[in-house]
Structures are given as C-alpha cells and as structure tokens.
Amino acid sequence: MFWKLRLPLIITFFVGIVPIVSFFLTERVPGVSFARDTVERYMIIIAGFALLLGVVNVIQGNVRKIERRAPGWPFAISLLAGLIIMGSFGLLSAFRVGPFQGILTAPDGGDTPFFWMTRNLFNPLQAAMFSLLAFYIASAAFRAFRVRNLEATILLLAAFLVMLGRTPLGEYVFSWLPGGERWLPAATDWIMAVPNAAAQRGIIIGAALGAASLSLRVILGIERSYLGMREK
C-alpha cells in the first residue's frame, strides 16, 4: 500500500513544493537552487518518457480502429503513415554524417527531409484546417451576436466597431464624417485596450486562481485522481 499510495504522494509533494520554495527564497540559501535544477532535469526526462507513452497509445488506438474497420479507419492509416515517416526522418536527422548522410538530403538540396515535409506538407495541411475552422467561428459569432438583451446589443456594437476599425473599408465608409478616418481606429484601439483588456485580465486571474487551487490540492494529496483513486 505504501508503494502504491504514500510514495507517489510524497514524490508529488516534494516535486511541487521545490519550485514554490525556490521562487520565494533567494539563490543564497544553500541547496535550494540545486534541488530546483535537479527537479527540472528529471521533469525533462519524465516528459520524454511521457511523450513516448503517448506515441505508443496513439499507435495502439489507431491499429485497433483499422483492425475493426471502425468509422474513419482510412484516416487512421494516414495518421500512422505520417507518424512513422515523419518520426523516422526526425530521428535520422540526428545522424547527418556517416551511412545516413546520403538519404538525409531534401529533394531541393536544402533542409533535411523532416523540415522539407514540414514546410511542404504539414504547414499547408495546418493552414487548411484553420481555414475550415473559420466557418465554425463565423457560425459561433452569429449565434453570440443575436440581439436578445442589453449585453448582447453592447457586444454586437463593439464587435461591429472593431471589425470596421481593423479594415480599410471601415475607414473609407466613415471618411465622409469630420475626422472619420481618425476616430474609428481610435475607438477600436480604446475598445481593445480598455474593456477587452479588463475582461481578459479577469479571465486570466480566474484561471490562475483555479490552477493554483488545483496545484495545492495535488501537492497536499487532496486530489488523487491522477493515481486512479477517489478523494478521501
């Protein structure tokens, strides 16, 4: 029982408390900086093993999907092919000398095949995915900007001014007003710098308090879901 419960809780407490102590104490306190650097090095090693575990999990899940001919299994084949090809070239990029030097030259004679595929395959696919997300964003904006109450009306007017102020079309539309080419960008900048910034700071403060609360629960052993156990 000690190895399954107490030892992970002790390690979690130590790893969580060291950065907090090192943040408030100066470098003159002996042992604090050494403990912090040691914990950071071990965290990098653990992150590497966690990444490997994630790759294995992805491979197992997609292989099962292909075997069962589950919906979307051709996409699983594409995912595994991209993972294997990109991963192999990424690992071989560390051996640019010796027997692998001949196969590590990109078709254009520049970067390695890994960076060549990233620039010519991955980046265009990523751009296409985000372009498709624009339609979902537009749909969500249409639902959010429906005038149902006072708050929705204010949101609609602010969004309308910001969109007009960020485009040359807005300045052209209001150019017939005295100073129209100046007050619209100024109003846009004020909306982004004052009300929008205040809302963003409130969200960030709330997220930071939530993260600090969850971190304390984990460090003190109250939150034990990461061990596959319920709270006690």
* H/E element, 144: helix 123-144
From CA 112, how far away is CA 91, in angstroms rounded?
11
* Number of other CB atoms surrounding residue 185 within 10 Å: 14
Coil, strand or helix at 110: coil
| pLDDT of 229 strictly over 90 | no
At 81-93, the pLDDT tens digits run: 988 888 888 777 7
For residue 165, which amino acid is it?
A: G
Question: Which alpha helices (DSSP H) does 73-221 contain, by range?
Answer: 73-92, 113-117, 123-144, 150-165, 168-173, 180-193, 195-219
CB atoms within 10 A of CB 170: 20
Confidence at residue 219, expressed as pLDDT on a 0 to 100 scale: 85
Average pLDDT of the segment spanning 89-109: 59
Asked if residue 184 lies in contact with residue 191, where contact means CB atoms within 8 angstroms, the answer is no
pLDDT in tens, 185-214: 788 888 888 988 999 999 999 999 999 898
Confirm if 38 and 24 have CB atoms less than 8 A apart.
Answer: no
